[in-house]
Amino acid sequence: MSAEEGAGSATRYSPTPDDVLRAAEWRGERAVAAAWKMYRSFASDLPWEAGGELPVFDVGMPADGFERLMLRTRPEARVVLVCEKTIVLEAADAWSASDRPSAAHIAGAALAWVQPLPSAWTCKVLRDHAKGLKAPLAFFGDLDPQALHLFAALRAGGPDAVLKGRSWVMGSPFHWIGLDGRWLDFACKHLGISEVPPSWTIRLSWLDQEYWELVKRMVPDVRRIVGARGCELLDRGVKIEADALLTSMREPFVQELGRRLRRVGRAPAARLHR
């Protein structure tokens, strides 16, 4: 089957050994920016792009073109929660009943949603807003390469800053409260099991597994961010999305999210904006 035939058919194109080797050629580049350019050049070509294999963020769009930023704020916000998925944002903002406030209300959280990858402008808007509130920034993302890339862009000040090796911007500390080893430990303990249910996991495509290897270079502290258990799952070629936890244990998930928001929101203001 040719690349063109594979891109237009219902059957996913299977990579040849040569495809796999070409996809990994970025590893020969020492600079992150050059490695990313080489990976993108391969991954955005047919049949991968048309077949939905390419991680979805800014392909084909200008670096600072039209973008969407949603922000729900409050005057006395103690923390700003940024989500990659509206389903998590809505869960944090939903009241169980008139006398059972939402996790966001209890934590005093402003809520934001950004599209991947957020531009330098988006990062600055969020940073300036949090600085005005004297509140920390928390990010919730799935346990997957794209969410970690997005987090790296937010804390660095934009996707280009990540490629230049910048890890964070003074005055805008971002805290990862997304899916990680601690979330998995919490979920397993709640369910009375020791291993993550297979039904929660999603197999990374071969190209996404290559992307994960590149993200590890972009985010050298990724093991600290998601923990050993989180990295082990990704290294095995599987990811977990928040949808799985929201489906099987919604109330415990929301309560734990609220606890994490409150912990971040208690950080002394002097440590947040220097």
| pLDDT for the residue 9 | 39
Confidence bin at 63 (pLDDT 50/70/90): low
User: CA 46 → CA 19, 188, 250, distances in Å?
Assistant: 11, 40, 39
**Mean pLDDT within 161-188:** 86
Confidence bin at 249 (pLDDT 50/70/90): very high
Comparison of pLDDT for 139 and 273, the residue scoring more: 139
Comparison of pLDDT for 13 and 58, the residue scoring more: 13
Q: How far apart are CA 266 and CA 178, in angstroms?
A: 18
Query: Is the pLDDT reported for residue 6 higher than 60?
Result: no
| pLDDT for the residue 107 | 96
pLDDT in tens, 21-57: 999 999 999 999 999 999 988 888 777 766 555 555 5
Note the pTM of the prediction, 2 decimals: 0.88
Nearest Cα residue to 212 out of 11, 26, 85, 15: 26
User: CA 149 → CA 12, 56, 128, 190, distances in Å?
Assistant: 25, 11, 21, 29
- The domain spans of the chain are 1-54, 65-272
Q: How far apart are CA 48 and CA 12, in angstroms?
A: 9
Would you state the structure tokens that stand for residue 264, as one six-digit string?
Answer: 């971040």
Pseudo-torsion of CA 171, 175, 176, 177, nearest 10°? Answer: -150
Q: How far apart are CA 133 and CA 152, in angstroms?
A: 22
Domain 65-272 sits in CATH at 3.40.1360.10
| pLDDT for the residue 44 | 80
Evaluate whether 108 touches 265 at the Cβ level (below 8 Å): yes
pLDDT in tens, 211-231: 999 999 999 999 999 999 999
Average pLDDT, the chain: 86
